[in-house]
């Protein structure tokens, strides 16, 4: 245990000053044995709390049997301070219910202190402030004592302490306090939860293929096109779609005619028949689209077993599963046909309901629609022109230059589309910008629209980023290994966390585990400003201040804001000496 202060030196001076505080006159005895220590020596942020254990050892024959000491831990920072729970020590003859320090045996006592984290605490110190009370003299009520000099307040100071000037009272209290720990290690706050979050995909396609088709049916064993069949094929609607696409300079049309035969005749005959049907249909289509200037691809496909299977699957035929089983058992078309014909109970249904639909030529228009170019999408966004939700999701994911632009695009999208993907991806972008409160609201909106694993994971991580570990743990049972590791890190269990974290986050866990070699390995290929900064912290802990200075300089050159962070960072304290 490191000896931070010889309390006896203070209390000797106090005994001289406390001529009216009789119970303290002899408390300077055995002064070399009084020890005070704090663990950790540098305060550490953990799960939204700054905590420490203060240990004090009182020697034998030191503590006056009638004395009472009140010790209050106070964390002090620029712009304020927070007092912790005080601890009281009393002599063996005091009729109170405090921790008794027996004069004959002395004692060893630990005071655990906790403070809710405030970002202003990044540059702070932990003080102890003591008040004394004796049954006789001027210290019948608790009286502040200066733990640095042993003095009690002067008349002027006592007047200030009794007054209403809060700032003046705080200044005296700080002057009288004994600083036992300097700085706060906030590395836990640097865990990048956004690195673990998952985007939701957009469905934007630069080229979308739209298919329009119709069937021109034939009589059994025939390739002759009748007027009735032309009418039933609704060719006018097919032509209208072609004409509409001709007016769209983003549309590329591909016309095909596919001739088929039903699988209920000789295979060679059906091959010739399907060819004849493709040729006769091609003539019909060529006449129909004579002014379109489009090429027509005509081909014969023989017996249409695929179409047969599709129609049987969609039918209400009682034994359709048996038919489908036959199709799967035989590769030979002749064997398939023979076995199906042997099913006399179902063959008539096939003849009436299925086979006539397969005596056809299928006329297909496969149109490729070119979407907006990247430049057109971004121009439309900047001009406030209409974009689909898929286009906006694509723009944010692929075209945005940085998280700020992602936030802007997705915020605009959220005003137009109530889409879980928009809110989810917006939350990630906000997290990357450090706006954790806004990110959590976005994920909560996404979760109301969709309960996907991605959103649940991101909602969990966002709660961690906002210091809401208890809320995050509600999702722990269904969380993946990475998310569970993040929860462990948020709770200070860096050993468990390091098993499933990678990269920068793994390095943070390793540093907190004091495994500096593992930390350096985890970010060996990371050239970001944050990685350089962490390398400066590691080097400083290793005592390599030259490397620490170089890495910090590199980090600040990439991200100037890190200079302000370094000025408050207890991990870089050695560089400030």
In the numeric block, which tokens belong to residue 322?
A: 């048996």
Statement to judge: residues 93 and 22 lie in one domain = yes
Q: Please, which contacts does 78-85 make with residues 24 or more away whose CB atoms are closer than 8 Å?
A: 78/120, 78/123, 79/120, 80/118, 80/120, 81/170, 81/174, 82/115, 82/116, 82/118, 84/113, 84/114, 84/115, 85/113
Q: How big is the chain, counted in residues?
A: 577
Please state, in angstroms and rounded to a whole number, the distance separating the CA atoms of residues 70 and 134: 12
Q: For position 341, what pLDDT does the model report?
A: 76
Residue 340 lies in a domain: no
Question: Taking a C-beta distance cutoff of 8 angstroms, is the pair 345, 323 a contact?
Answer: no
The HSE-up count of residue 241 (CA atoms within 13 Å, CB side) is 18
Please state, in angstroms and rounded to a whole number, the distance separating the CA atoms of residues 473 and 487: 7
Residue 30 lies in a domain: yes
Residue pLDDT, tens place only, 76-111 = 998 899 999 999 999 999 999 999 999 888 889 999
In the numeric block, which tokens belong to residue 111?
A: 């005071």
Residue pLDDT, tens place only, 499-534 = 999 999 999 999 999 999 999 999 999 999 999 999
Residue pLDDT, tens place only, 457-491 = 999 999 999 999 999 999 988 899 999 999 999 99
Q: For position 15, what pLDDT does the model report?
A: 41
Residue pLDDT, tens place only, 151-179 = 788 889 989 999 999 999 999 999 999 99
Residue 379 lies in a domain: yes
Please give the full DSSP string across 333-346, using - where no structure is assigned.
HHHHHHHHHH-HHH
CA dihedral 196, 197, 201, 202 (to 10 degrees): -130
Mean pLDDT of 184-210: 95
Residue pLDDT, tens place only, 233-277 = 999 999 999 999 999 999 999 999 999 999 888 899 999 999 999
Tell which residue, 148, 180, 149, 186, has the closest CA to residue 1: 180
Residue pLDDT, tens place only, 36-59 = 899 998 999 999 999 999 999 988
Q: For position 32, what pLDDT does the model report?
A: 58
Statement to judge: residues 393 and 511 lie in one domain = yes
Question: Taking a C-beta distance cutoff of 8 angstroms, is the pair 393, 422 a contact?
Answer: yes
* Residue of 324 and 390 predicted with greater confidence: 390
Statement to judge: residues 243 and 358 lie in one domain = yes
Please state, in angstroms and rounded to a whole number, the distance separating the CA atoms of residues 392 and 412: 9
Q: pLDDT-derived band of residue 5, with 50, 70 and 90 as boundaries?
A: very low
- Structural domain of residue 216, as residue ranges? 207-313+350-370
Residue pLDDT, tens place only, 401-439 = 999 999 999 999 999 999 999 999 999 999 999 999 999
Statement to judge: residues 148 and 261 lie in one domain = no
Q: For position 430, what pLDDT does the model report?
A: 98
CB atoms within 10 A of CB 33: 16
* Cα→Cα distances 409→202, 391, 422, Å: 14, 10, 10
Residue pLDDT, tens place only, 330-384 = 888 888 888 777 775 677 788 888 999 999 999 999 999 999 999 999 999 999 9
CATH code of the domain in which 482 resides: 1.25.40.10
Please state, in angstroms and rounded to a whole number, the distance separating the CA atoms of residues 132 and 130: 7
Statement to judge: residues 100 and 136 lie in one domain = yes
For residue 24, the SS3 value is helix
Q: For position 336, what pLDDT does the model report?
A: 81
* Cβ burial, residue 391 (10 Å; 0-12/13-18/19+): buried
- Sheet harboring 35-46: ordered strands across? 107-116, 49-58, 35-46, 184-185
Separation of CA 71 from chain center: 42
Q: For position 526, what pLDDT does the model report?
A: 96
The tally of domains found in the chain comes to 3
Statement to judge: residues 174 and 273 lie in one domain = no
Q: Would you say residue 115 has pLDDT above 90? A: yes
Q: For position 60, what pLDDT does the model report?
A: 86
Residue pLDDT, tens place only, 9-41 = 444 444 444 445 677 666 645 555 778 899 998
CB atoms within 10 A of CB 413: 24
Please state, in angstroms and rounded to a whole number, the distance separating the CA atoms of residues 553 and 450: 45
Residue 160 lies in a domain: yes
Q: For position 20, what pLDDT does the model report?
A: 55
Q: pLDDT-derived band of residue 4, with 50, 70 and 90 as boundaries?
A: very low
In the numeric block, which tokens belong to residue 17?
A: 């000053």
Q: For position 399, what pLDDT does the model report?
A: 96
Statement to judge: residues 102 and 251 lie in one domain = no
Statement to judge: residues 385 and 509 lie in one domain = yes
Residue 345 lies in a domain: no
Please give the full DSSP string across 174-215, using - where no structure is assigned.
HHHPEEEEE-EE-GGGG--GGGG---------SEEEEEEEEE
Residue 575 lies in a domain: no
Statement to judge: residues 65 and 36 lie in one domain = yes
Statement to judge: residues 254 and 366 lie in one domain = yes
In the numeric block, which tokens belong to residue 81?
A: 């301070």
* Buried residues in 14-26 as b, exposed as e (16+ CB within 10 A): bbebbeebbbbee
* Buried residues in 186-198 as b, exposed as e (16+ CB within 10 A): bbbebbbbbbbbb
For residue 280, the SS3 value is helix
In sign, the C-alpha dihedral spanning 569, 571, 575, 577 is positive
Q: Considering the chain, what is the average pLDDT of its residues?
A: 90
Statement to judge: residues 21 and 143 lie in one domain = yes
Q: Which of 509, 526, 543 is the last residue of a domain?
A: 526
CATH code of the domain in which 261 resides: 3.30.1330.60
Separation of CA 120 from chain center: 25
Q: Which residue(s) pair with 37 in the sheet?
A: 55
* Buried residues in 327-339 as b, exposed as e (16+ CB within 10 A): beeeeeeeebbeb
Statement to judge: residues 294 and 354 lie in one domain = yes
Q: For position 486, what pLDDT does the model report?
A: 96
This prediction has a pTM of: 0.77
Separation of CA 106 from chain center: 52
**Phi, psi (5° rounding) for residue 42?**
-105, 120
Q: In the chain, pLDDT over 70 holds for what percent of residues?
A: 94
């Amino acid at each position: 245990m490191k000896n931070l202060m010889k309390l006896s030196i203070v209390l000797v001076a106090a005994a001289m000053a406390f001529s009216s505080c009789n119970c303290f006159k002899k408390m300077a005895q055995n002064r070399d044995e009084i020890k005070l220590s704090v663990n950790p020596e540098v305060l550490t942020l953990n799960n939204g709390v700054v905590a420490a254990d203060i240990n004090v050892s009182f020697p034998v024959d030191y503590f006056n049997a009638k004395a009472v000491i009140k010790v209050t831990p106070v964390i002090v920072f620029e712009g304020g301070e927070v007092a912790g729970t005080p601890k009281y020590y009393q002599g063996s003859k005091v009729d109170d219910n405090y921790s008794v320090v027996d004069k004959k045996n002395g004692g060893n006592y630990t005071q655990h202190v906790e403070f809710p984290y405030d970002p202003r605490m990044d540059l702070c110190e932990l003080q102890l402030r003591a008040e004394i009370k004796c049954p006789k003299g001027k210290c019948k009520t608790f009286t502040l004592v200066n733990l640095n000099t042993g003095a009690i307040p002067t008349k002027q100071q006592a007047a200030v302490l009794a007054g209403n000037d809060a700032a003046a009272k705080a200044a005296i209290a700080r002057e009288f306090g004994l600083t036992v720990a300097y700085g706060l290690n906030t590395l836990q706050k640097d865990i990048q939860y956004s690195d673990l979050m998952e985007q939701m995909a957009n469905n934007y396609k630069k080229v979308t293929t739209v298919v329009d088709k119709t069937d021109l049916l034939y009589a059994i064993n025939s390739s002759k096109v009748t007027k009735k069949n032309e009418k039933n094929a609704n060719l006018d609607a097919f032509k209208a779609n072609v004409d509409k696409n001709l007016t769209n300079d983003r549309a590329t049309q591909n016309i095909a005619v596919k001739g088929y035969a039903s699988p209920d005749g000789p295979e060679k005959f059906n091959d010739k028949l399907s060819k004849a049907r493709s040729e006769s249909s091609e003539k019909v289509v060529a006449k129909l689209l004579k002014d379109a200037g489009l090429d027509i691809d005509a081909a014969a496909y023989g017996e249409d077993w695929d179409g047969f299977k599709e129609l049987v699957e969609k039918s209400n035929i009682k034994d359709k599963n048996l038919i489908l089983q036959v199709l799967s058992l035989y590769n030979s078309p002749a064997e398939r046909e023979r076995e199906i014909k042997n099913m006399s109970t179902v063959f008539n249904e096939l003849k009436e309901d299925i086979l006539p639909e397969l005596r056809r030529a299928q006329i297909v228009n496969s149109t490729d629609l070119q979407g907006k170019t990247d430049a057109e999408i971004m121009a439309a966004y900047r001009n406030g022109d209409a974009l689909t939700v898929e286009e906006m999701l694509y723009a944010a994911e692929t075209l945005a230059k940085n998280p700020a632009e992602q936030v802007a695009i997705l915020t605009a999208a959220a005003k137009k589309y109530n889409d879980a993907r928009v809110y989810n991806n917006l939350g990630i972008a906000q997290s990357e910008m450090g706006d954790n409160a806004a990110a959590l609201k976005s994920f909560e909106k996404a979760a109301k629209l969709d309960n996907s694993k991605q959103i649940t994971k991101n909602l969990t991580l966002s709660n961690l980023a906002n210091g809401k570990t208890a809320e995050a743990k509600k999702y722990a049972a269904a969380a993946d290994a990475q998310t569970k590791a993040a929860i462990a890190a948020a709770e200070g269990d860096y050993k468990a966390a390091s098993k499933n974290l990678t990269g920068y986050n793994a390095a943070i866990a390793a540093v907190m585990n004091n495994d500096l070699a593992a930390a350096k390995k985890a970010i060996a290929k990371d050239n970001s400003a944050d990685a350089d900064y962490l390398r400066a912290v590691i080097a400083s802990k290793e005592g390599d201040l030259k490397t620490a200075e170089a890495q910090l300089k590199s980090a600040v050159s990439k991200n100037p804001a890190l200079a302000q962070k370094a000025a408050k960072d207890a991990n870089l304290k050695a560089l400030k000496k």
